[in-house]
Chain A
Amino acid sequence: MINPTEYLPRSYHRRMSTYWWLARWSYLTFILREASSVFVGWTVLLTLVQIWAVTHGPSANAAFHEWMRHPLMLGVNVIAFLFVLFHAVTWFSLTPKAMVIRVKGQRVPDWAISGPNYAAWVLVSLGVAWIVLRG
């Protein structure tokens, strides 16, 4: 089938620099937020390797623990932690933009939506830590 738009003149797009996101602070924070996706993937990968290690017995788990203590891994993981934290903070502060709630015709203020999200984040984090550390 002929694509009906194939022979139409294309709209003009000025070529942007590949490094356009270095031009402004807000562009840079945008691209850093997007880059957090790499570390989200990395965290899942670590989780999968750890599940594998735990199910393969104490020696595999010890080897995993030793691997995690390697300076290179610690370096990567410090960066990963900062990115994941950045993702979380930006995600919750964006929630009011994605979720507009009106009460009696008035828009609910941003803090009334992001606030409970931050509170839930703290509670959930403490809950997970308690379950893991309880032993």
Chain B
Amino acid sequence: MSNRSNEPLLWLLFSAGGSVSAMLMPVHLFLFALAFPLGWLDPPSNETLLALIRPPVVRVYLFVFCFLSLFHGAHRFRFTLYDGLQIKHLNALINVLCYGGAAVGTVTAAYLLWRIP
């Protein structure tokens, strides 16, 4: 049985995801969650958006965006519960829910991006 810890990998994902989400999330959220719904900017048509996300390079971009951000968020949320709310007796359950949730999200992202016609 290996005694090697997963922690370095998780910290690596945390760090990579932190950079990706810091670089990209504000502009994504600003456009799609504020500017378009509030009518500050004209939203692209469905056809335009579909053409935008169809190229493989954009699918890879969106996959990396989702995958790394999810593992960043999961890792940070785990420590929010651990340090912030001091829920330490439920460690195993919290780890499963955080990283499991991130894994489910990642697989969903891969599936949705794969299925783009």
Contact = CB atoms under 8 A, between A and B. Distances in A.
Interface of A: 16, 18, 21, 31, 34-38, 40-41, 43-48, 50-52, 54-55, 57-58, 61-62, 65, 68-69, 73-74, 77-78, 80-81, 84-85, 87-88, 91-92, 98, 120-121, 124-125, 128-129, 131-133, 135
Interface residues of B, number: 58
24 contacts: A31-B84, A34-B79, A35-B80, A41-B70, A43-B69, A47-B28, A47-B62, A48-B105, A48-B109, A54-B50, A58-B45, A61-B46, A68-B37, A73-B37, A77-B34, A77-B37, A84-B25, A87-B25, A88-B23, A125-B24, A128-B24, A128-B31, A133-B31, A135-B44
Contact of B76 (A34, A84, A88, A128): A34
A100 to B, nearest CB: 15
B26 A125 contact: yes
Interface of B: 15, 17-19, 21-34, 36-38, 41, 43-50, 52-53, 62, 65-66, 69-70, 72-77, 79-80, 83-86, 101, 105, 108-109, 112-113, 115-117
